[in-house]
Amino acid sequence: MARRKKIYEGKAKTLYEGPEPGTIVQYFKDDATAFNAEKKDVIEGKGVLNNILSEYFMLGLANVGVPTHFLKRLNMREQLVRSCEIIPLEVIVRNYAAGSMSKRLGIEEGTQLPRPIVEYCYKEDKLGDPLVTEEHIAAFGWATQQDMDDILSLALRVNDFLSGVMYGVGIKLVDFKIEIGRVFEGDFQRLVVADEISPDSCRLWDLETGEKLDKDVFRRDLGSLTDAYTEVANRLGLLPKNQPPMGKPTLIN
Site for ligand TMP contains 25 (CB under 6 A)? no
Tell me the per-residue interface mask from 162 to 181 with ligand TMP, x by CB under 6 A, - otherwise.
Answer: -------------xxx----
State which residue, 83 or 201, has the beta carbon closest to ligand TMP.
201
Question: Which own/partner contact pairs does 152-158 have at CB distance under 8 Å and 24+ positions apart?
Answer: 152/118, 154/66, 154/178, 154/180, 154/191, 154/193, 155/91, 155/93, 155/118, 156/93, 156/116, 156/118, 157/61, 157/64, 157/66, 158/61, 158/66, 158/93, 158/193, 158/197
State which residue, 23 or 100, has the beta carbon closest to ligand TMP.
100
Query: Which one of residues 100, 224, 234, 243 is an interface residue with ligand TMP (CB under 6 A)?
Result: 100
Residues 179-208 that bind ligand TMP (CB under 6 A): 201-203
State which residue, 18 or 231, has the beta carbon closest to ligand TMP.
231
Distance CA(175)–CA(201), nearest Å, equals 9
Min separation Cβ 103 and ligand TMP, Å: 8
Query: Which one of residues 92, 166, 191, 236 is an interface residue with ligand TMP (CB under 6 A)?
Result: 92
State which residue, 18 or 98, has the beta carbon closest to ligand TMP.
98
Q: Which secondary-structure segment (H or E) carries 51?
A: helix 46-63
Minimal CB distance residue for ligand TMP = 99
Residues 42-81 that bind ligand TMP (CB under 6 A): none
Helices (H), 142-240: 145-168, 216-219, 225-235
Of 90, 86, 81, 22, give the one whose Cα is nearest residue 51. Answer: 81
Cα 220 off chain centre by: 19
Applying CB under 6 A, which residues contact ligand TMP? 92, 98-101, 129, 175-177, 201-203
